Amino acid sequence: MFNNYLQSFISIGKKSIGFILFVICSYAIYRTVLVNENWTQLGMMLKAQLLSIAFYQWVVLFMLMCLNFLMESIKWKVVVANTNPISFTKAIKSVLVGQAFAFFTPNRIGDFAGRVLFLKTEHKLIGMAHLAWASYAQLIITLLLGTIAININLPLYPWISQIWLSLIKFGSPFVGLVIMLLFFYKKEWKGKLGFLNVIQIATRVKAKLLLLSFLRYLVFLLQYIWVAYLLKIQIDTGLLVVSVSILFLCLSILPTINITELVVRGQLLIIILAPFYADKHMVIYLSSFIWGVNFLIPAVIGASLLLGYRLNR
């Protein structure tokens, strides 16, 4: 009984924090963009930029989106291969349906429910456990590269106190080592805990997950670089990569849901890019563009696939 109350309290707390962040960031963006005398002019400038984008440039953006979900689909196929082998087509469908479920749930936990729909009933729980390994691998890459990036940029953020500077500099390598060791640590459980052996995966599979997660991370960075180029955002590519890596690190820690992450992501990117780029409106356009490509469009496609799945059932 106590555990149920505790889980409910934690769930409410996460949702409340996410909602508060959403309200704060929404207001900040409202003050930055919507309450602006030049809003009409800015809208016309954005429209002109979008119209100037060539067809092949849209194609490249679409291919990057497909490559992103191709990497994630391969990860899903690899991690369930031993217990419930699935076709590549089914892996792609399950990832997209997972996006539809994740769109309205905190920290995208609905992704689990969406993906296991395509698994056999007796393998659904194991599939959810194995998906946690794939998510863990992506989190490791995000944390490791994010901490490297934030260490690179620390001198450029005067609003970070000296105490936090020291903690980040000396604590991040230690944290990175610990999470990597925990990821590869494998224990043979006995007795009543023997059922935990079922959810273990081979070390070589873990290594594959890390490699695929790293490749997917690179695709994310390429998307930001490409969209910044399309929107003619004048910022050094190296600085953009470092800043986006810090953004990913922050988003992996903050409790948000996809539908509210749009404004949280935009405001965070404004803060992170502040030392290098002053045009807040273009930063919001950049963030919104990426959000639409990586979350909104796949969620719509996934919802359509889910409808077809339910009708077939």
Q: Is the pTM of this model over 0.85?
A: no
Q: How is the chain split into domains, by residue range?
A: 2-312
Can you tell me the distance from the alpha carbon of 33 to that of 4, in angstroms, rounded to the nearest whole number? 43
Identify whether the C-beta of residue 277 lies closer than 8 Å to the C-beta of residue 224.
Answer: no
Whether the pLDDT of residue 218 is over 50: the answer is: yes
CA distance 282 to 274: 12
- Regarding predicted confidence, which is higher, 245 or 26? 245
Q: Can you point out the beta strands (E) in 24-160?
A: none
Q: Read off the pLDDT band of 225 (50, 70, 90).
A: very high
Q: φ and ψ at 106, to 5 degrees?
A: -60, 135
Q: Which of 89, 76, 132 is nearest to 107 (CA)?
A: 132
Note the helical H segments in 52-105: 55-79, 88-102
CB-side neighbour CA atoms (13 Å) of 270? 20
For residue 67, count other CB atoms closer than 10 A to its CB: 16
Stronger pLDDT, 103 or 23, i.e. the higher one: 103
- The predicted-structure confidence for 128-167, as pLDDT tens digits, reads as follows 888 888 888 998 999 889 888 888 877 676 666 667 667 7
- The length of the chain is 313
Backbone φ and ψ for 255, nearest 5 degrees, come out as: -80, 110
**Can you tell me the distance from the alpha carbon of 229 to that of 126, in angstroms, rounded to the nearest whole number?**
43
Q: Which helix (H) or strand (E) holds 185?
A: none
Residue 262 has a pLDDT of 67
